[in-house]
């Protein structure tokens, strides 16, 4: 009897030891690191959530750094621990990733918004620029640079994102046809690599790292500082919307506008599916060019295409600007009665999406699943895509804005890590869906994901040469296919700057310490 009892006790001790060995011991070693910021090992749940609201991976710790040195010390510590720790690091800015890209399961999430350092500094002159923290929000950069009559050249549609976050992807909006994406307007970076090294890089200094990090999905380093090019900022914006019923005409006009010295500073298009009373909704903030004709326009049950244009100007230029706009509009083939215009301050135009965010938050419709799908489609195949998607897959309704507009590849630097279609002009098509929680209908998550899958299958079967923007894949084969001929170069860069694959585990491209010659 005593033997049996002792055997049971021994068995339980062995289980306890085994369980104890399974408990991660990493956080205790992090506590000893000489940093100015601090680690949090308890309040970590917020770091397992993002804008996509579809994935949740709990980290072991959240680092709240005060400096780039804190980040470097942490990453270097993990690097020196070697592959046995299995610990990884994700940089989290404003948490706007869609599929857990800024999460680190049982790893360390770096709360970039805690990052301090030199204050934002605007440099004026013939080639103005601003030096900012990688954790800075673009909206704050806009406010500060406007004090000097300056502003960045290229934007995203939503400004409440961090510099490091958008530069790790590309940063695209309606200015990209002229200025390229945000990554084409960066002069210099400060980066913490996967070895814990703090490196300054630019076109002429450590250029390989510079171009690796830009659009590099966080795989090569964490952006802690950036130097952004600026230009003189306008005070006002002429904001214009017109409608089309025919996609071919809509696309032709867009391509014409981006092909030459367009008078417009911003060009985007979007698809409108079965939106009742569309023009009535616009009248709250836009003036119709012909109210009597517009009142007879019926949008019910039709797929329409909206061209959205903006012209920047200063008040003293009003007469010239109006003439330029009229000349440009006369070349378009839109439905005449659907010309709507508005005149707003520059900052109000750029921050327009934030106004929608405030409204959605007030209704509890912001923190819902966002199964977004962003595609880059060659111009030669955009008509096939539009016919199949807007004619067969999406016919009755949509669950959010659908953007569709062309950009010039010549404005993108081919040395960065971004993967683009192989044509001089390609379209960004973004399905910015929001899913109704708990719904099993057409506005539910599963239905939207099914539609996304059908769209991707169409692109694959028809060989449309499509590349995903903000890409996310689950298998090595899919990533290889995404990068294509650039895969080997991407792997080589990874092995150089983050050989243990410590950084950005949420992208699911590499596993820590896995051979990088996969």
Q: What amino acid positions are annotated as catalytic residues? A: 96, 157, 268
- Cβ within 8 Å of residue 364, ≥6 positions away: none
Tracing tokens 């100015």 back to the chain, one arrives at 36
Q: Could you tell me the two tokens for 349?
A: 């135009």
Buried b (16+ CB within 10 A) or exposed e, 173-204: bbbbbbbbbbbbbbebbbbbbbbbebbebeee
Q: Strand 186-193 to strand 221-232: parallel, antiparallel, or no bridges (unpaired)?
A: antiparallel
Residue 251: phi and psi, rounded to 5, are -65, -40
Q: Give the residue from 493, 489, 518, 514 showing the smallest Cα distance to 502.
A: 514
Which string of DSSP letters, residue by residue, matches 15-55?
Answer: HHHHHHHHS--HHHHHTTS--SSEEESS--GGGG--TT-S-
Buried b (16+ CB within 10 A) or exposed e, 231-253: bebbebbbbbbbbbeebeebbeb
Q: Give the residue from 29, 21, 119 showing the smallest Cα distance to 74.
A: 29
Burial class (CB in 10 A: 0-12, 13-18, 19+), 67: middle
């Amino acid at each position: 009897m005593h033997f049996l009892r002792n055997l049971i006790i021994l068995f339980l001790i062995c289980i306890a030891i085994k369980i104890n060995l399974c408990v991660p011991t990493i956080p205790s070693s992090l506590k000893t690191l000489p940093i100015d910021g601090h680690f949090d090992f308890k309040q970590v749940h917020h770091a397992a959530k993002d804008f996509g609201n579809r994935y949740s991976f709990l980290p072991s710790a959240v680092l709240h750094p005060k400096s780039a040195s804190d980040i470097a010390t942490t990453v270097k510590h993990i690097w020196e621990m070697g592959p046995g720790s299995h610990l990884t690091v994700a940089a989290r800015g404003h948490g706007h990733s869609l599929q857990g890209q800024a999460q680190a399961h049982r790893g360390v999430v770096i709360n970039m918004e805690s990052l301090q350092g030199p204050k934002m500094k605007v440099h004026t002159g013939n080639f103005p620029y601003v030096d900012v923290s990688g954790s800075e929000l673009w909206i704050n950069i806009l406010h500060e640079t406007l004090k000097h009559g300056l502003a960045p050249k290229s934007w995203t549609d939503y400004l409440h994102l961090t510099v490091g976050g958008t530069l790790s992807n590309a940063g695209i909006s309606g200015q990209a046809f002229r200025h390229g994406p945000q990554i084409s307007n960066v002069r210099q970076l400060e980066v913490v690599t996967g070895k814990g090294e703090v490196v300054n890089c630019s076109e002429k200094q450590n250029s390989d790292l510079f171009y690796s990090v830009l659009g590099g999905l966080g795989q090569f380093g964490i952006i802690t500082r950036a130097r952004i090019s600026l230009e003189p900022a306008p005070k006002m914006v002429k904001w214009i919307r017109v409608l089309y019923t025919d996609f071919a005409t809509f696309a032709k006009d867009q391509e014409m506008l981006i092909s030459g010295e367009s008078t417009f500073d911003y060009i985007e298009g979007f698809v409108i599916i079965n939106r009742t009373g569309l023009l009535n909704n616009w009248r709250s903030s836009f003036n119709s060019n012909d109210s009597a004709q517009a009142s007879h326009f019926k949008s019910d049950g039709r797929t329409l295409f909206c061209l959205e244009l903006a012209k920047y100007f200063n008040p003293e230029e009003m007469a010239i600007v109006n003439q330029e706009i009229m000349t440009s509009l006369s070349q378009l083939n839109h439905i005449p009665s659907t010309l709507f215009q508005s005149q707003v301050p520059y900052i109000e135009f750029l921050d327009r999406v934030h106004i929608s965010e405030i409204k959605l938050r007030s209704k509890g419709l912001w923190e819902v699943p966002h199964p977004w799908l962003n595609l880059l489609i060659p111009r030669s195949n955009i008509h096939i895509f539009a016919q199949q998607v807007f004619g067969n897959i999406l016919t009755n309704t949509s669950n959010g804005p659908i953007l569709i507009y062309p950009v010039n590849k010549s404005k993108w630097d081919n040395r960065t890590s971004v993967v683009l279609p192989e044509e001089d002009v390609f379209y960004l098509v973004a399905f910015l869906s929001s899913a109704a929680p708990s719904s099993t209908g057409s506005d539910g998550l599963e239905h939207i994901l099914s539609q996304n899958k059908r769209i991707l299958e169409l692109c694959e079967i028809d060989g449309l040469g499509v590349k995903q923007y903000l890409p996310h894949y689950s298998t090595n084969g899919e990533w290889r296919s995404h990068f294509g001929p650039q895969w080997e170069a991407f792997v080589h860069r990874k092995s150089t700057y983050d050989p243990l694959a410590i950084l950005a585990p949420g992208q699911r491209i590499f596993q820590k310490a896995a051979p990088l010659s996969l």
